[in-house]
Structures are given as C-alpha cells and as structure tokens.
Amino acid sequence: MIRTKLTVWNGVVLSMVLAALALVLYFTVRTIRYQAVDDDLRARASLLHQIWRDVEKHAPPKPPPDRNLLFDFGDDPNMAKHLALEARMSHPMLLSILGRDLVDPKGHVWDMHGLISAAKGIQCFTTIQDSGIRARIFSVPIVSKSRVVAVAQLATPLDTIDEDVHFLGQALLLMIPLAIVVTTFTGMWLTKRMLKPIRDIAQAAERIEYSNLNGRLPVNGQDEFAELATTFNGMLGRLDASFQKLGAAYEAQRRFTADASHELKTPLTAIKARVGIALHGDSSPARVRDHIEAIDTAADQMTHIVRDLLLLAVSDDGRLNLRLRRVSLLAIVLDAIELVKPLEGRQIDLRISPRLTTWADQDLLRRVIVNLLDNAARHTPDSGTIGVEAKRVGHQVSIHVYDTGDGIPEENLPFVFERLYRVDSSRNRDSGGTGLGLAIVKSIVEAHRGMVEIASHIGTGTSVTITLPRKVIRTT
C-alpha cells in the first residue's frame, strides 16, 4: 500500500536527517567549545604580553642567577596534587632563555615540544595529559628588542569540556532512536490524515456507475487533492453531458429510423395494394390507368422522402458540397414560387431589391425557400398573407419568410427543426408533409455558415428568418 511505503520512506528519510543533524550538532558544539578554549588562551597570552611590556618599561628584567623561573604561579605543595595542577593551570608559566640554551626547570614545563617551538619564535598549541587531566597548552615567545628572551606557557584543563561533549554525545545517541520512533508514528498518523482525501475520492468513485454519472467527489479545502477532485468532477460532468447527448442522439436516431420506416411504409403499402387490385380486380383500361397513376404518385412520394434523407445524411457527414457563386435573391425567390404548387393563384408579398445578391449554392438556397413557402402555403388559408422579405444587414443578408396562418404552439417550437417531426401528429402527408422540410432548411443554412430562427403564435402566423454571410468561406 502507498501508505506503508510513504511511512517507511518517511521513517528512513527522517532517520537520516536526524542522524545528520545530530552529527552536525555534536561536531559544531565540540568545535565551538574547544575553539573557545584556544581563544581564551590567546586572550590570556595577549594580556601577558601587555604586562611584560609594562614591566620592561619601568624595571627591565634581569636573568635569574640560579633558577630561570621568573614567575611560577600556583605551585602550592599544601594542596592535593590534582587540585594543585588545576590551580597552576589557571596562571601562566614564564621561563627565561639564556643565550641559545633553553633552561628546563624540572617540573615547571607543561609541554617540552611547545617550549622548543616557542623558543624559536613560533606560537604553538598542544594538548597534554598530566595526572589524569587533559589540558590545552599555548606556548608563546616573549620578545624583547627583536629577540626571544622568554617563553610563556598558558594552560587550561579540558576535563569539564570533555565531560560536556561526552554527555552531549550520549544524549544525542539516546535521543535519536526516541526521535525516530516518535517521528515514525507521527508520520504514520500524518500520512493517514494526508491520504484520507484520496481514500474518500476512491470510495466516492466506486459509488459512481456508468449508468448514473450524477454523483460527484467531495471537495474539501484548497489543496492539490481538492484540485484533483474538482478536475475529476469536471470530467464526470463532461462525460455525463456526452452520455446525455449520445443518449439523445440515439433516441433521435431511433425515432428517425422508426418514422422513416413509417413514411416509406405508407407509399409502399399503397403501391402494393394498387398492384394487387390491378392483378386480381377490374382490368379495364381506365381502372388500370387509375392504379398506375396512384402507384406513380406513391413512388414520387418515396423518391421525395429518400432524396431528402440522402441530403440530410450527406449533410451530417460534412459532404454537402456547395457550388458557390453570386446569385440574385429575387430570382431565386421567384423560381421557388413557381415550384410550390399550393401557391398557384396566390398573391405573394415580396420585398426584395433586384440588386440584392449573395454568395450561395443556387439550387440549395432555392430548396430552402421552396420548403419554407411550401410550409407556409400548407397552413395558411387562401385569404391569408404569405410574404418574403430580404435585406442587407451589415456583412450579412437576412431573408424573412412569414405567413398569417395557423401558427405553431410555443411548446413545439424547440422541435420543429428535428427530422420527421410534425407539430400535429394527426395530420396526413398531404397537409403536414414528411416532417423533413425544416430539418433540410437548417442543414443547408448551416452549411452556408448561416443561422435560422423561427417565431410563431397560434392564430397569428409563423415567421422564419435566415441570416447568411454575403461571402461564404469554404472550409474543409
């Protein structure tokens, strides 16, 4: 599990970090403490030099006749050896030099190696052990008139510092395992708490099924987990919308297939019935001709339906090739009026300038106007008005087809552009058409990068507005 892995890795990393910090702390404190000893010895040596210069100015020192010990502070035979050594170390030891020979007063030289180096003019730090006590020795030359006349050795016991450093090391060794245990359990608790949003997301995701994508993940806080949950919810929303669109498209396709089958079944039934009657019934020439004319009419209806369905299928596939050229809107409308049979003998209100032109596929645009006029003629009484108005609006052309017919109920308006949809399902084919006219209008207009809108009121009439760009840019 990822929680176990995170806990283990957190423990390992924290252990390494704590060990590194402990080592850094130990050596830093150790260095600082011992460096402080050396700094203190340097300060004491500097003070000793100042005292020597003051003494030299007022009473120049003379070499001692027998012992070469000028100053020997702390040599107290009445104190215990250990305490006496520490006491002596608190004071400097000053040894004189006669010529080139170094006088070694026995028992009063802390470090012979340092004494020899200082006699040569070289300051020297050394560490010695005397009477079981570690001490830090600083040997410095005393210079008078550019030559070394004496050597001073200053000492500081290190037993207290050694004990402190040793205690620090033991404390760190004891604290590191305890800290590792504490941090491990703390890391486990923090890891569990940090991963809780992921567990919640996983549990919520398990409750979401493909058939129901309405569920959403909980979004808590503003961290990365909240961002992840928000992103996942957005994805679920898009999937839900896609499935809904797919379901709607499937339902529309199912309905379209059923309606198309019904539309084709009706003329096929009529053809089959007429053929049966002609074969088994009255075979007089007049009756045969009547049957043939009925069969021809039914075949025309089938051809019309199949042609419309093929046009819509081609439009859906994006293969509706437009043969664009500059066309006169007035000429197209006049041709459409001639093709719509229900308009014969009617007066059409036209408001189109002869100079108004646009770029379009002439045949397809004529088809649009024919379908709109055919719908208007079917549902407008002879005493009613049917009109077509076209005008230029900026870089577009607006074509307005209106009538004063029955009108369409408001609840039906969102569906009138669907295929094989009839406002009144009780209408027959002669009065209601196939239900493909407005769907074809929408497909052709959108292929021209235009828009189509419809408005209608019961008893007042219907108006359809088409907006086309004056220059259609062909796209692949």
* H or E element at residue 269: helix 224-280
d(CA 64, CA 70): 7
d(CA 303, CA 287): 24
In this structure, are 76 and 104 located in the same domain? Answer: yes
Query: Is residue 312 a contact partner of residue 439, using CB atoms and an 8 Å limit?
Result: yes
- 328-342, 422-436, 457-471: which range is least confident on average? 422-436
> Hey, which of 106-115, 281-290, 320-329 has the most confident mean pLDDT?
320-329
d(CA 363, CA 365): 6
Query: Is residue 154 a contact partner of residue 39, using CB atoms and an 8 Å limit?
Result: no
In this structure, are 373 and 247 located in the same domain? Answer: no
Q: Give the tokens for residue 365.
A: 């645009």
Residues 6 or more apart in contact with residue 350 via CB below 8 angstroms: 330, 333, 387, 388, 389
Query: Is residue 6 a contact partner of residue 191, using CB atoms and an 8 Å limit?
Result: yes
Q: For residue 408, what are the CA distances in angstroms to 230, 258, 423, 443, 459?
A: 44, 24, 7, 21, 9
Residues 6 or more apart in contact with residue 271 via CB below 8 angstroms: 295, 298, 299
In this structure, are 283 and 349 located in the same domain? Answer: no
d(CA 391, CA 322): 23
In this structure, are 100 and 234 located in the same domain? Answer: no
Per-residue pLDDT averaged across 26-49, rounded? Answer: 89
| Closest to 214 measured CA to CA, from 224, 204, 222 | 204
Looking at residue 189, what is its pLDDT?
A: 79
Q: For residue 409, what are the CA distances in angstroms to 444, 454, 460, 462?
A: 25, 12, 11, 10
For residue 79, list its beta bridge partners. Answer: none
Question: Count of H helices and E strands in the chain?
Answer: 10, 13
pLDDT at residue 300 is higher than 70: yes
Looking at residue 179, what is its pLDDT?
A: 80
Q: Is 240 a member of any domain?
A: yes
Q: Is 108 a member of any domain?
A: yes
d(CA 106, CA 421): 127
Name the amino acid, one letter, at 333: V
- 68-72, 162-166, 349-353, 427-431: which range is least confident on average? 68-72
pLDDT at residue 80 is higher than 70: no
Q: Is 364 a member of any domain?
A: yes
pLDDT tier at 17, thresholds 50, 70, 90: confident
In this structure, are 326 and 424 located in the same domain? Answer: yes
For residue 324, list its beta bridge partners. Answer: 361
Q: How far is CA 163 from the centre of its chain?
A: 57
pLDDT at residue 78 is higher than 70: no
Q: Is 182 a member of any domain?
A: no
Q: What is the CATH number for 287? A: 1.10.287.130
**Structural domain containing residue 227:** 210-319
Q: Is 92 a member of any domain?
A: yes
Q: What is the pLDDT of residues 232-253, one digit of tens each?
A: 788 877 887 887 888 777 776 7
User: Where does a domain end: 289, 319, 349?
Assistant: 319
Other CB atoms within a 10 A radius of the CB of residue 82 amount to 14
In this structure, are 329 and 291 located in the same domain? Answer: no
pLDDT at residue 445 is higher than 90: yes
pLDDT tier at 255, thresholds 50, 70, 90: low
Per-residue pLDDT averaged across 423-431, rounded? Answer: 52
User: Where does a domain end: 319, 344, 365?
Assistant: 319
Secondary structure string (H, E, C) spanning 151-213: EEEEEEECHHHHHHHHHHHHHHHHHHHHHHHHHHHHHHHHHHHHHHHHHHHHHHHHHCECCEC
Q: What is the CATH number for 60? A: 3.30.450
Q: Is 443 helix (H, G, I), strand (E, B) or coil?
A: helix
Q: Give the tokens for residue 235.
A: 């994805």
For 395, phi and psi rounded to 5 degrees?
A: -95, 20
* Per-residue burial over 278-314, b = 16 or more CB atoms within 10 Å of its CB, e = otherwise: beeeeeeeeeeeebeebbeebeebbeebeebbebbee
In this structure, are 327 and 437 located in the same domain? Answer: yes
Q: What is the pLDDT of residues 138-169, one digit of tens each?
A: 998 888 777 888 888 888 888 888 888 889 88
Question: Which is more confidently placed, 81 or 450?
Answer: 450
Name the amino acid, one letter, at 53: R
- 93-97, 99-103, 451-455, 470-474: which range is least confident on average? 99-103
In this structure, are 17 and 159 located in the same domain? Answer: yes
In this structure, are 268 and 332 located in the same domain? Answer: no
Q: Is 200 a member of any domain?
A: no
In this structure, are 265 and 342 located in the same domain? Answer: no
In this structure, are 139 and 42 located in the same domain? Answer: yes
pLDDT at residue 350 is higher than 90: yes
Per-residue pLDDT averaged across 289-298, rounded? Answer: 82
Strand pairing of 93-98 and 69-72?
antiparallel
Q: How far is CA 449 from the centre of its chain?
A: 35
Q: How many structural domains comprise the chain?
A: 3
Q: Is 179 a member of any domain?
A: no
pLDDT at residue 102 is higher than 70: no
In this structure, are 256 and 388 located in the same domain? Answer: no
Q: Is 73 helix (H, G, I), strand (E, B) or coil?
A: coil
Q: Give the tokens for residue 100.
A: 């080139």
Q: Give the tokens for residue 456.
A: 């209608």
Q: Is 72 helix (H, G, I), strand (E, B) or coil?
A: strand
Give Dmax (Cα) for the chain. 173
User: Where does a domain end: 298, 319, 340?
Assistant: 319
